[in-house]
A and B are shown apart, each in its own frame.
Chain A
């Protein structure tokens, strides 16, 4: 699709969608939302770029290899945070007992492992959605 209005509106609206997605991911433990919803919103912004500007432009922003690395790296990050509980002598994914920082209720940096895990899930879901759409739309 090569339409001037669609291209210009996409360039204007994509940063706002991405800021909203990052907001949902970072506030996952103190407001509605979380890793899955925010990651889906973040993935939708890249899908919008693919639909309006073409697959080459979107692959320049986030290539297939980078997407795979993000997908694998975020789930490794999740598992490593889980192992921090085992290293300190507790169960898998132990939060308070493993010595994580429990801040004030309502702050962004609070409640121990939950924000770190939410960020990992957000990156994982976003890159999975993007990879799925790029594989379907690719010419074979």
Chain B
């Protein structure tokens, strides 16, 4: 179980670094959604299932859709 935890945190840090180094904003939004998904799994492992539920619904769902809507109104490349 601890190995799983460490793997999740490594994925989390990799996603966080990739978001700020990506020039394509649409790709950055998709990586940010996967960041939220790993964060939701970590909340679940930390025994906070209500926060995990909120993170999966807001972070991976609504925020991604709002960012994609804003990018469709503006430029895609940074």
A residues near B (Cβ < 8 Å) are 24, 32-34, 36-37, 40-41, 43-44, 47, 51, 129, 132-133, 136-137
Contacts and interface: CB of A to CB of B under 8 A. Distances in A.
A70 to B, nearest CB: 17
Contacts, number: 37
A47 B62 contact: yes
A34 B58 CA distance: 13
A137 B70 CA distance: 8
Contacts of B61: 40, 44, 47
Given A32-B49, A32-B50, A34-B50, A40 B57 contact: yes
B22 interface: no
The SS class assigned to the B binding surface is helix
Nearest to A136: B69
Interface in B49-63: 49-50, 53-54, 57-58, 61-62
Contacts of A44: 57, 61-62
B57 A41 contact: yes
B76 to A, nearest CB: 16
Chain B: interface residue count, which band? 10 to 19
Contacts of B49: 32
A32 B65 CA distance: 25
B57 A37 contact: yes
A37 B50 contact: yes
Contacts of B73: 136
B69 A37 contact: no
Contact of A37 (B54, B65, B66, B70): B54
Given A24-B53, A32-B53, A43 B69 contact: no
Interface string B63-78: 0011001100100000
B62 to A, nearest CB: 6
Interface string B19-32: 00000000000000
